[in-house]
Amino acid sequence: MKYPIIAMTLLALSAASCGGRGVASDSSAQTDTVSPARQLSLRLDSVSRAGLVMFGHDDDPVYGHTWVGDSGRSDVLETAGDYPAVMNWDLGGIEKGDASNLDSVNFERMRAEVIAQDARGGVNAFSWHAVNPVDGQDSWQCADTTIVAQIIDNPEVAERFRNQIRLAARFIAGLTDASGKKIGVILRPWHEHTGAWFWWGSKQCTPDQYRHLWTETRRIMDEEGADNILWAYSPDRVKDIDEYLERYPGDEYVDIMGADVYHYGAEKGVDSYLAAVDATLGAATQAASEKGKLVAFTETGLEGIPMADWWTEVLLPAVSKYPAAYVVVWRNAHDKPGHFYAPWPGQESEASFKKFHDDPRTVFAREMNTIR
Ligand code: BMA
């Protein structure tokens, strides 16, 4: 049995530690109407304070290891009997006005699934593998180390960049539930920036340029009315809090201190994974406690899950040491047989995943209705 969570809304309204512009609804907090972003932040705070962690999966209901495009399916649901509490979606492609994202997920289907996830009490998060606004090459083309500089200094590039952000902002601001109310979501832009594999990476721009990228993104999103966002900052693995915060855009611009740390090398890689989680999620936790923010394990996973007990013996002990409100594993590609991060019926980590689901510390979609 998992412990039910008492609605902590009123208590949390006065005590919730998360603040800043992302939940800039101090005025609404004084009225009866709590903004969607504020409401989401209170729910994440409730989960974290209760010592629980929500499980999340990228692109969960739109394709799986052996299927694509079906309705009502999910590898997680078919394995553990429940949808994930958090679904991650990628906006990559929206900045070009494309109908589908870079992994062929149609944005209208995505919208419908976001609404469905919200209706079942779950949470939606967005990552964004955007093309660059200089020549439109994808996120991973990082040989040109002038992209962010050009966004700042070249008026034509700056205008293209603003248009890219506007397209994403309109999609997010337009996510509404059946009653027409905006759905609170998490946005995690310019992620893994401590690495050097995206055009916004550590070798591709200076700390000041990176901060500008972030604050300008935020400014445009606000201008477009995308106020239903909690902003997640998510460095890749770092050695300490100084590196974690080196490119931090500022307390006004961030709500969630995240960490993206993957497990490589199966059994042999366990120690180094745990050490990297400790360093990075530890830094996120320290920064969050100093700044009054939320903490999340924003991206992780072991590709192909070739360890039968990974969920219960590696991931759960690793994440349980920290007040992370959620942990997200990456996608189950239908067109790359070895590229999956959640199990499916018959996958070797299935039993461990079921135990992970049943563990009192984890939260999947069904239990989300107890979390206000
Ligand atoms: C990567 C891989 C790619 C995918 C990209 C964006 O980690 O999964 O196949 O296109 O993320 O989702």
Closest residue CA from atom 8 of ligand 1: 331
Ligand 1 neighbours by CB, cut-off 6 Å: 90, 102-103, 129, 330-331, 333
Q: What is the pLDDT of residue 224?
A: 98
Helix (H, G, I), strand (E, B) or coil at 296: strand
Q: Confirm if 226 and 173 have CB atoms less than 8 A apart.
A: yes
Q: List b or e across 318-343, with b for residues whose CB sees 16 or more CB atoms inside 10 angstroms.
A: bbbebbbbbbbbbbbbbeeeeebbbb
Q: What is the pLDDT of residue 25?
A: 37
Mean pLDDT of the chain: 93
Taking 70 as the threshold, does the pLDDT of residue 72 lie above it? yes
d(CA 153, CA 304): 43
Tell me the pLDDT tens digit for each residue of 271-303.
Answer: 999 999 999 999 999 999 999 999 999 999 999
pLDDT, mean of residues 341-364: 98
Taking 70 as the threshold, does the pLDDT of residue 13 lie above it? no
Taking 80 as the threshold, does the pLDDT of residue 56 lie above it? yes
Taking 80 as the threshold, does the pLDDT of residue 28 lie above it? no
333 Cα to the center of ligand 1, angstroms: 9
330 Cα to the center of ligand 1, angstroms: 8
Taking 70 as the threshold, does the pLDDT of residue 259 lie above it? yes
Element (H, E) at 45: helix 36-49
pLDDT, mean of residues 114-123: 98
Domains and CATH numbers, the chain: 2-368 (3.20.20.80)
359 Cα to the center of ligand 1, angstroms: 29
pLDDT, mean of residues 346-362: 98
* 19 or 361, greater pLDDT: 361
Q: Which of 193, 368, 197 is nearest to 298 (CA)?
A: 193
97 Cα to the center of ligand 1, angstroms: 19
Which atom of ligand 1 lies at the shortest distance from residue 90's CA?
A: 12
Which atom of ligand 1 lies at the shortest distance from residue 92's CA?
A: 6
d(CA 238, CA 242): 9
Taking 50 as the threshold, does the pLDDT of residue 20 lie above it? no
Q: Confirm if 330 and 320 have CB atoms less than 8 A apart.
A: no
Tell me the pLDDT tens digit for each residue of 199-208.
Answer: 999 999 999 9
179 Cα to the center of ligand 1, angstroms: 34
3-state helix, strand, coil split of the chain in percent (to 5) is 40, 15, 45
Closest residue CA from atom 3 of ligand 1: 103
Ligand 1 mutation pick, 105, 110, 128, 129, max ligand atoms within 8 A of CB: 129
Residues 6+ apart with CB under 8 A from 340: 65, 75, 303, 304, 305, 331, 332, 333, 347
d(CA 285, CA 131): 31
- Angle of CA points 29, 31, 34, to nearest 5°: 50
pLDDT, mean of residues 216-229: 98
92 Cα to the center of ligand 1, angstroms: 10
88 Cα to the center of ligand 1, angstroms: 12
Hey, how many other C-beta atoms are within 10 angstroms of the C-beta on 346?
Answer: 9
Taking 80 as the threshold, does the pLDDT of residue 119 lie above it? yes
Q: What is the pLDDT of residue 21?
A: 40
> 14: pLDDT confidence band, cut at 50, 70 and 90?
very low
DSSP assignment string, 129-156: -PPPTTT---TT--S-TTHHHHHHH-HH
Closest residue CA from atom 10 of ligand 1: 103
Q: What is the pLDDT of residue 175?
A: 98
Tell me the pLDDT tens digit for each residue of 300-323.
Answer: 999 999 999 999 999 999 999 999
Which of the 8 DSSP states describes residue 69?
S
Q: What is the pLDDT of residue 372?
A: 84
Q: What is the pLDDT of residue 323?
A: 98
Taking 60 as the threshold, does the pLDDT of residue 79 lie above it? yes
Q: What is the pLDDT of residue 32?
A: 54
d(CA 107, CA 113): 10
